[in-house]
Structure 1
Amino acid sequence: MSAPEMPDGIPSTRLTGRYLAPDGSPLVGTVSFAPPSVLTLPGSDTFAATPAKVTLDDHGSFSVTLIATDAPGMSPSHWAYQVTEKLKGIPRRVYHIALPASALPVDLADIAPINPYAGNYLPVTGPRGATGEKGEPGEVTLAQLDALEARTAPRPQEWTQSAGNREWIITHSLPYRPLVTAYDTSGREIGGVVDYPSPTTVRLRFAHAETGSAVLH
């Protein structure tokens, strides 16, 4: 099936990628690209929502056209795609990328962070245990990977803003920059500008003082 064409007037970028094992064999799995919960493009009379999800082909490759993160007039105006890699035999990886409009394809390997879970780690080698019996080789399906993610992925975190303010400062414990959905006290979703002053802090800015709640996921 051919990839859908981006509607006229929406700045976009063609993003490509390829995943191989160290021995050169292609990996199997999916990669998703999630914008904010609802992305508004008033100049094109368009709303964009839900992640774009691609499945790696027989060569471990993908190619997808995505809305550029610097398209003029968007709301929110400062945002990034949350990339989720679910590859067979490899722990799930989540990170964020900006994707400016480009006439040329952009390769994900050129813009993805080298280590999205940056931190200080000290490898410690303990005493070697006894060798166990070799088990039978197993197979893991994508459905099983999805089920494992549902059990092990960080749960969404909620925040309540009880005092009206044009700026919400939210602290969290998620191991990545989360997507943020804000709601007013009536449960209606409200848009704001999101930025990340620190790895554990999210700042939401609104045109007017707001009270309500936010969900980080």
Structure 2
Amino acid sequence: MSVYELPAGVPSVRLTGRFITPDGRPLTGRLTFAPPSVLTMSDADTISHTAAVVEIRAEDLGRFAVNLIATDAPGISPRGWTYLVTERLKGAQMREYPIMLPERHGGGAVDLADLAPVSPYSGRYLPVVGPTGATGPQGAPGEVSRVELEDLEERMAPRPVTWTQGHASSLWTISHSFPYPPAVRVFDTSGREFGGRVDHPSSSTATVQFAFAETGMAILS
């Protein structure tokens, strides 16, 4: 894990962090810290271009460290800017969010876990079933046939559909016939569920975006 020192006269903040799975396995991937396209530091006679990229390799055990230009460094232009952090981790959903790194942090390292936002829960809640009520009187027979009822049920509550991605790709495009944007759960070839960014670009298409090319299957419901 290489950490570069910034030139003398450029105020910096050391940012650290660690990425693991819920069962403790370290993650690998890439972090990008993007400021405005060009930073001009007249006091230090320095110009900074593009973004800082940090690779998290297997031997890093999920940890990283990087020295970044302080967002409130004196004599810097533009003023009042933030870094756009992009997380691209193997098997995890890509995330983007802004952070500020003021110079007051320069006395010690800052952990990304203290700055990154918490992702909202997007799964399914377990319904709690209450006690069974008393049986009511039987109603009059309706005029809808059993076949019509089954067809209505199929259209109103479609059964889950399994879709397989046979070749590795960082973007899965899934066609479906659901009458609504379906929920999408993603699994790798060993059956382990993992994350991806799900979008619904049309009424009959769902896409899943990954940081790396993946194979596996998706269950739509």
TM range (shorter): 0.5 to 0.7
After superposition, where does 1:106-185 map in structure 2 within 5 Å? 106-115=110-119, 129=160, 136-137=189-190, 145=211
Retained in 1: the 8 A contact 2:43–2:75? Answer: yes
Q: C-alpha distance in 1, partners of 2:22/2:91?
A: 13
Q: C-alpha distance in 1, partners of 2:109/2:21?
A: 23
Shift of 1:122: 9.2
Aligned amino acid, residue 87 of structure 2: E
Q: C-alpha distance in 2, partners of 1:8/1:2?
A: 19
Residues 111-149 of structure 1 show CA distances to partners (whole Å, capped at 9, x for unaligned) of 11223xx7x9795897764889998449xxxxx83679x
Aligned amino acid, residue 116 of structure 2: A
Unaligned runs of 5+ in 2: 127-156, 165-186, 192-209, 215-221
Retained in 1: the 8 A contact 2:42–2:75? Answer: yes
Shift of 1:2: 3.6
Shift of 1:84: 0.3
Structure 1 runs, 4 residues or longer, greater than 3 Å off: 120-138, 144-148
Q: C-alpha distance in 1, partners of 2:87/2:188?
A: 28
Structure 2 residue matching 1:145: 3-state secondary structure: strand
Q: C-alpha distance in 2, partners of 1:3/1:106?
A: 15
What's the % identity of the aligned pairs?
Answer: 49
Q: C-alpha distance in 2, partners of 1:135/1:27?
A: 16
RMSD: 3.3
Residue of structure 2 equivalent to 1:76: 78
Moved more, 99-108 or 124-133: 124-133
Q: C-alpha distance in 2, partners of 1:135/1:69?
A: 40
Q: C-alpha distance in 2, partners of 1:37/1:130?
A: 44
Aligned amino acid, residue 60 of structure 1: G
Unaligned runs of 5+ in 1: 139-143, 149-217
Matched, 1:21 2:21: yes
Residue of structure 2 equivalent to 1:93: 95
TM-score (norm 2): 0.55
**Pair 1:122–1:91, CA change in 2 (3 A):** closer
Matched, 1:105 2:109: yes
Q: Number of aligned pairs? A: 140
Shift of 1:38: 0.4
Q: Rg: which structure is higher? A: 2
Retained in 1: the 8 A contact 2:85–2:99? Answer: yes
